[in-house]
Amino acid sequence: MKGHIPPDKIEEVKRRADIVDLVSEYVTLKKGGKNFLGLCPFHKEKTPSFTVNRDKQIFYCFGCGEGGNVLTFLMKMSDMSFPEAVRHLAGKTGVIIPERVLTREEKESFSVRNDVGRVNKMAAAYFSKNLFSQAGKEARDYLRKRGIQDDVIKEFGLGYALDGWRHLRDYFEKAGVSLKLVEQSGLVIPKANGGGSFYDRFRGRLIFPIQDIGDSVIAFGGRIIGSGEPKYLNTSESPVYIKGRNLYGLNRTKEDIRKEGYAILVEGYFDLITLWAYGVRNVIATLGTALTRDHVDLIRRYTSHVAVVFDPDEAGKKALTRSIELFLSGNMHAKGVVLPDGYDPDQYLRTHGKEAFMEIIDKAGSLVDYYIENVIGGVATYEEKRDALKEAVSFIIHIDNTRERDLFIKRVSEKIGLDQELLTKEVNIVLKAAPGKEADASREPEMEIDTVELSIIHIMLEFPSVVPEIAKKNIFDCFMSVNLKSLALKLTDYYAKEGAKGFDASQFIQAIDNEFIKKKLLRMMIDDNPYDEKLIDRVTADAMKQIKRKWYKERCRVLKTKIKKAEENDNQELWARLLEELQTLQKEEKTSL
C-alpha cells in the first residue's frame, strides 16, 4: 500500500538522479558548452532550444518556456503525479522508500476505488462484446452511417447496452459482484420502492467508455439510437470519476496536442471521434458539463493554446463568457471557432471534409475578439449601450490580470463608443464593492518586473551563502514589485529553514506561483552564471544602491504630488507636514547612498 514519502527520501532521490541521463531517455541531447541541447519534447521546433544543465540539475526550453528539475520533467513527460515520479526515480536510483501503514479510512477508500475501477473494466468489456453481437447490429449500422468504422470503434472501446431493464445487472450478479458496488460505479440504479432491487442505467444505448490519463475506464456515456430523451446520459460521479476534472479522449490525444502545439476543444463524444477518424488527433471534449478551472489546468499540462468550437446560440454565448474568464486567468491563448450554418464538428466534417474544417480552425480569431465583436458589440441605441456596459462590467471584473483588464477595457470602450475612463470607473466601483476582487498580485504584469530586483534574487539563488547578509540590509522593503518582495522574503525563509547544505535552487524555483517570474529565473539559471564570485559583494552592493535610489525617487515623487495638492486646496497644516516629511526623506537618502 503506497502512502506518504518522507522528505529526506525525496531529497535522496533528487541527489542520486541525473537529469541529463533521464532526459536522454526521451530526447537526443548534444553537448554545447556547459549545457546539453536537444529538440523540445513539449512543442514543435526545428532548431534545438531545449537546454539541460547538469550542474544545476534543471532544464529550460527557450522556445516554449517549459522548465523545471528532474521530477517535474518526468511528471510532464509521463503524466505522473509527484509521488509517482518520486517512486519511479527511486526504483531507478536504488532508493528504498519505507511504506507507511495507512489508516482504516485510507484503506477503505483505496479499496473502493480499486473495486469500482474493476467493475468499470468489466462493464466496458461487456458493452463492447454486445456491440459486436447480433443484438448490436442496429448500433453498428448507426455508427457506420456516421462514418465510424471498426478500427475507430475498437480504438475508443465503443459498446452497446442491450435494450432491457436488467441485462447488465444480471451479468454482474452471475459474476458474483455486489450490486451495491455496481451502484457506486453509477451503472445500476436502486428501485424507488427499495428492497435492495436494482435496474440498468443504460438501456438500448450506444456506450462511450470514459478513460482517465492512465487509460483506466472511470465512467460511461450513453447515446440513444433513434428518437427519445435524454439524447445523452452519463454515469454519475463516483469514487474514481469527477466530471469537471476529466476530458474525453485526452488519454489518446495528449501527444498529438503536444506535437501540434494546440488543442481543439469540442463538446461531444461524436465530435471528437469523427475528428479522430478524419485524422485530426489534437482534440479533446468536455463531458456534458461546463468548462472548469480544473479542465483548463489539465489542458495547460500539454499546451497553452486552444481552439474552442462552440455554438453561436444564447447557451453557447454564456459558455463562451465563462470560458474566456477561465482561459485568461489560466494564461491560455484561446481562439473562438464558430462553424457556419449551425453545423457541429461531426456534421461539418462528414459534409465538407477535413481540409475545409482545418481552414476554419486556422483562420479563427481570438476568443476575446469574438466576444467583443459578437456578444458586446453591435450596439446603437442608448438602451443597447447601457446593457452592453452592464455586460462588459460584469465580465471585466473577473479578469484578475491588471494588464489584461486594461487592454480589455480599451477594446470594449472603442467598440461600443463609450468613454474609456467611464468604463474604468464603473469597473473600479464594482471591484471595490466586491471583497477579494482586487488585482491578483500573483498575476502581476510582465512590465512591472524590475530587472535589478530580479537580479538580487538571482544572486541569492546562485550564491545561497549571501542570503543572510542581503536580508540583514532590509533591502526587500525597498522593492517596488510586490511579487518580487514576497518572493525574496520566501527565499530568505527557505534558506533559514534549509541552511546552505539543504538549499536547492531548482526546488525553490519550482514552487513559485507566478509563471512569468518562474520562467524568467529558470532562463537565468540555465545560462552561464554571469557573476564572478570574487566580485559578488560589489555587484550586490551596486544593485542594492540602484534599488534604494529608485525607491527614494518614487517616494519623493509621491510626496511632491501630495504637497502640490495640499497647496491647491490651501491646506497649510498638511502642506507643512508633508514638506517636512519630504525634507527628512531627502536627508535620509543622502546619508544612506
The 10s digit of each residue's pLDDT in 248-299 is 999 999 889 988 989 999 988 999 999 999 999 999 999 877 898 889 888 8
Average pLDDT over residues 19-28: 89
Average pLDDT over the chain, rounded to an integer: 87
Work out the pLDDT band at 152, boundaries 50, 70, 90: very high
Average pLDDT over residues 333-361: 92
The pLDDT assigned to 106 comes to 58
Region for residue 200 given its phi and psi (left: phi exceeds 0; alpha: psi -120 to 50; beta: otherwise): beta
Average pLDDT over residues 557-581: 88
Give Cα separations from 43 to 49, 254, 281 (angstroms): 10, 12, 15
The 10s digit of each residue's pLDDT in 446-486 is 445 789 999 999 999 999 999 999 999 989 999 988 889 99
Residue 427: CB atoms within 10 A of its CB come to: 23
Tell whether the model's pLDDT for residue 445 goes beyond 50: no
Tell whether the model's pLDDT for residue 489 goes beyond 60: yes
The pLDDT assigned to 312 comes to 65
List the grid coordinates of 338: 464558430
List the grid coordinates of 433: 464593492
Q: Out of 103-117, 118-132, 422-436, 542-556, which region has the weakest mean confidence (pLDDT)?
A: 103-117
The pLDDT assigned to 440 comes to 44
Tell whether the model's pLDDT for residue 371 goes beyond 90: no
Work out the pLDDT band at 439, boundaries 50, 70, 90: very low
In contact, 119 and 187? CB cutoff 8 Å: yes
Work out the pLDDT band at 317, boundaries 50, 70, 90: low
Average pLDDT over residues 546-557: 90
In contact, 271 and 324? CB cutoff 8 Å: no
Tell whether the model's pLDDT for residue 362 goes beyond 90: yes
The pLDDT assigned to 448 comes to 59
| % of the chain residues with pLDDT over 90 | 44
- Cα–Cα dist 413/260, whole Å: 36
The pLDDT assigned to 198 comes to 94
Average pLDDT over residues 512-530: 88
The 10s digit of each residue's pLDDT in 178-214 is 999 999 999 999 988 766 789 999 999 999 999 988 7
Average pLDDT over residues 321-350: 86
Q: Out of 98-112, 229-243, 424-438, which region has the weakest mean confidence (pLDDT)?
A: 98-112
Work out the pLDDT band at 22, boundaries 50, 70, 90: very high
The pLDDT assigned to 187 comes to 96
Residue from 306, 311, 362 nearest 335 by CA: 306
For 150-165, give the DSSP string.
Answer: HHHHHHTT-EEE-SSS
Q: What is the DSSP letter of 4?
A: -
Average pLDDT over residues 171-179: 94
Q: What are phi and psi of 374, to 5 degrees?
A: -110, -20
The 10s digit of each residue's pLDDT in 109-122 is 657 888 999 999 99
The pLDDT assigned to 434 comes to 63
Q: Out of 14-28, 123-137, 304-318, 541-555, which region has the weakest mean confidence (pLDDT)?
A: 304-318
What residues have CB less than 8 Å from 479, skipping those under 6 apart? 450, 453, 485, 488, 547, 551
| % of the chain residues with pLDDT over 70 | 93
Q: Out of 138-142, 248-252, 543-547, 556-560, which region has the weakest mean confidence (pLDDT)?
A: 556-560
- One-letter amino acid at 24 equals S
The pLDDT assigned to 108 comes to 62
The 10s digit of each residue's pLDDT in 394-425 is 878 877 777 778 888 888 888 877 788 888 88
Tell whether the model's pLDDT for residue 443 goes beyond 70: no
The pLDDT assigned to 194 comes to 66
- Cα–Cα dist 19/25, whole Å: 10
Q: Out of 73-82, 310-319, 361-370, 397-406, which region has the weakest mean confidence (pLDDT)?
A: 310-319
In contact, 40 and 261? CB cutoff 8 Å: no
